[in-house]
Chain A
Amino acid sequence: MSDRVTSVLAERDPAWAREFEMMMEAYEEAGGRSDVLQAGRVAKAVVSGNQVLAAQSVEGVEIETEELEDGVRALIKVAPGAKVEHPVHLCFGLMPKEGLQRIISEFDIGAGAEVGFLAHCTFPNAQDVEHVMDAQIHVGPDATMRYSEEHYHGEVGGISVVPTTHATVDEGGRLETAFSLSHGRVGWLAIHFEVDVARQGVVELVAKAYGYAEDHIEVDEVIRLNGEGARGLTKTRVAVRDQASSRIYTTAEGNAAGAVGHMDCTEVVRGGAEARNVPVVIVRHDEARVTHEAAIGSVDRKEVETLMARGLDEEEAVDIIIRGMLG
């Protein structure tokens, strides 16, 4: 951490400073860069438990937060037409071994705006932690929102993460989300994401997770392509080993002329793990088209032997393939 930040912290409440320091360390463990998080020109929110440790708006991005008994409510508004240069950084975490954190968030992206979000959720000490997120997303006409979320849950697996999102994408809007949980234990993960897409709107939902031991991964995504020419993609990459399990439920509805949807799921299974994929295709217009592809099972033998022919042993080869897939 830089001297400048340290000196700023020194002027504050020591307890707050310790919490902030711990969050920054955990944030970096989760893959974030604390120096960027503390830069003045970057919009951000840092939440530990139900405490808002930092919240900063910048021109075009307004962040309002409210501390609740068991979490935080956040409203993030991006002004119409704003082209936000730096991604908005969000850091959510809980340092104690036990507890509940509930994040209720609302994202409102104004017409024609372009904005990216980098979110890191970190629970490095979790033994009996519940992290519940309830998000509402509105992407205005011709606006673009890119949201990337990385998780780090520690090595114990005593955590339950339940993010639920309802999104709407207006005409010509674009929403891209990427969820990743490939370092440390998953614990119990249940993602639910529903999105309605208007005319010429685009949505891409990417979810990647690596579960082991007794981890459980559940992804339930529904994209409704309601407007003419709307497009949607769900891309799911999951690896499970040991006694871990994954359930991937994806639904794509083609409800208008020219709507095109595709669901792409790859699940790698090792040891006694179990993976399931249930794609649901619904088409309500004769000019719409929805497709799905799924590959579930062991790592492709030819891929493994290709890497073994370079001198890697089988375990190394499989690990490289899985890490690449989840990268």
Chain B
Amino acid sequence: MNDDVLLRVEGVHVRRPGADVLRGVDLSIRRSEIHALLGLNGSGKTSLALTLIGASGYIPERGRIIFDGRDITELGVTERARLGLTLGWQEPARFEGLSVADYIALGMGEPTRECVEDALRAVALSPAAYMGRTVDTALSGGERKRIELAAVYAMQAKLVILDEPDSGIDVLCLADIMNLLRRMAEEGTAILTITHRDDMAAVADRASLMCAGSIVNTGSPAEVREYFARRCRPHEDLLGSQPWGEGAGGSYQEIVREEMCSE
């Protein structure tokens, strides 16, 4: 393996009840790079994220995941996290009675108050206002999302997967999130960020496009965006022109994939 490559996904196939959610995914992430993962809803982006961290129900039937030179395909979530691979969830869980400070400190090797405060400032949250609050339903969606980002930042992992870090974040704070991504990369953390936003993708060094459970294109964000615009037809074109369902020409994802891969 090239030393520059931190994560290599080789032909990973994952089946969930009723569907093949990943179909031979090949992907590589370099050290300290920001890599954007693009694709339509349902294309398999979140399934790939959950497969990479080893979440229950996302065990590959085929293929391998090599992280930092080690085959982690059979490892669980905890072991992968301890090797330096973590996830910032799209809709992070809420924890009754767990303080923001404790939540952020959980993933830190040697937690200090200064580091926790620094992580909060990195996502534009005031430590004084948030350290003692609880990671429960009293937080707004945007606040909870930023605390999730602070927690993964505080881990100083080798690879952080961010599932739509921009969703639920107000426009004014988007720049803070983009700055955080750059800061993490500068500090040596590689980032795989799932996004639907062009401006977020533009922060990336490289991008990959997912369709129907596979990576169909990898290149610069501009190249992938151009590929996407040229080959991907809007939902309504497909749904309006063809019946959708069993016995009607295959699933929506299969229709999309045929359209995108036909040229």
Chain A contacts to B: CB under 8 angstroms: 237, 300-303, 305-314, 320-321, 323-327
Given contacts A301-B56, A305-B77, is CB(A310)–CB(B86) below 8 Å?
yes
Given contacts A309-B86, A311-B82, is CB(A303)–CB(B77) below 8 Å?
no
Given contacts A311-B82, A311-B107, is CB(A325)–CB(B97) below 8 Å?
yes
Contacts of B87 in A (CB 8 A): 309
Q: How large is the interface on B (under 10, 10 to 19, 20 to 34, 35 or more residues)?
A: 20 to 34
Contacts of B151 in A (CB 8 A): 310
A309, chain B: closest CB distance, angstroms: 5
Interface contact B81-A303, CB-CB below 8 Å: no
Interface contact B92-A306, CB-CB below 8 Å: yes
Please report the number of residue pairs spanning A and B whose Cβ atoms sit closer than 8 angstroms. 57
B13, chain A: closest CB distance, angstroms: 21
Residue of B nearest to A266 (CB): B96
B252 interface residue (CB < 8 Å to A): no
Interface contact A313-B78, CB-CB below 8 Å: yes
Contacts of A305 in B (CB 8 A): 53, 55-56, 77
Chain B contacts to A: CB under 8 angstroms: 53, 55-56, 76-78, 80-82, 86-87, 89, 92-98, 106-107, 151, 155
28 A-B pairs with C-beta separation under 8 A: A237-B96, A300-B93, A301-B56, A302-B93, A303-B95, A305-B55, A305-B56, A306-B92, A308-B76, A309-B53, A309-B77, A309-B80, A309-B86, A309-B87, A310-B81, A310-B86, A311-B78, A311-B81, A311-B82, A311-B106, A312-B106, A320-B95, A320-B98, A321-B98, A323-B97, A325-B97, A326-B97, A327-B97
Residue of A nearest to B154 (CB): A310
Q: Which 10 A-B pairs give the minimum distances between C-beta atoms?
A: A324-B97, A310-B107, A327-B97, A308-B77, A324-B98, A311-B81, A303-B93, A310-B106, A306-B93, A308-B78
Interface contact B97-A307, CB-CB below 8 Å: no
Given contacts A323-B97, A324-B98, is CB(A306)–CB(B89) below 8 Å?
yes
Given contacts A301-B56, A305-B55, A307-B106, is CB(A312)–CB(B78) below 8 Å?
yes
Contacts of A325 in B (CB 8 A): 96-97
Question: What is the CA–CA distance of A237 and B53 in the complex, to the nearest angstrom?
Answer: 31
Question: What is the CA–CA distance of A324 and B136 in the complex, to the nearest angstrom?
Answer: 10
Question: What is the CA–CA distance of A237 and B96 in the complex, to the nearest angstrom?
Answer: 10
Contacts of B97 in A (CB 8 A): 323-327
B245, chain A: closest CB distance, angstroms: 30
Question: What is the CA–CA distance of A321 and B151 in the complex, to the nearest angstrom?
Answer: 17
Question: What is the CA–CA distance of A320 and B99 in the complex, to the nearest angstrom?
Answer: 11
Question: What is the CA–CA distance of A143 and B166 in the complex, to the nearest angstrom?
Answer: 47
Residue of A nearest to B151 (CB): A310
Contacts of B86 in A (CB 8 A): 309-310
Contacts of B93 in A (CB 8 A): 300, 302-303, 306
Give the residue of A309, A320, A327 whose beta carbon is less than 8 angstroms from that of B81: A309
B138, chain A: closest CB distance, angstroms: 14
Give the residue of B81, B98, B155 whose beta carbon is less than 8 angstroms from that of A308: B81
Contacts of B155 in A (CB 8 A): 310-311
Contacts of B77 in A (CB 8 A): 305, 308-309
Interface contact A314-B78, CB-CB below 8 Å: yes
Contacts of B80 in A (CB 8 A): 309
Contacts of B94 in A (CB 8 A): 303
Interface contact B96-A324, CB-CB below 8 Å: yes
Question: What is the CA–CA distance of A264 and B55 in the complex, to the nearest angstrom?
Answer: 30
Residue of A nearest to B53 (CB): A309
B71, chain A: closest CB distance, angstroms: 19
Question: What is the CA–CA distance of A13 and B91 in the complex, to the nearest angstrom?
Answer: 63
Contacts of B95 in A (CB 8 A): 303, 320-321, 324
Task: Name 20 extra pairs, CB < 8 A, besides A309-B86, A310-B155, A325-B96.
Answer: A301-B56, A303-B95, A305-B53, A305-B55, A306-B92, A307-B106, A308-B76, A308-B81, A309-B77, A309-B80, A309-B87, A310-B81, A310-B106, A310-B107, A311-B81, A320-B95, A320-B98, A321-B95, A323-B97, A324-B95
A73, chain B: closest CB distance, angstroms: 36
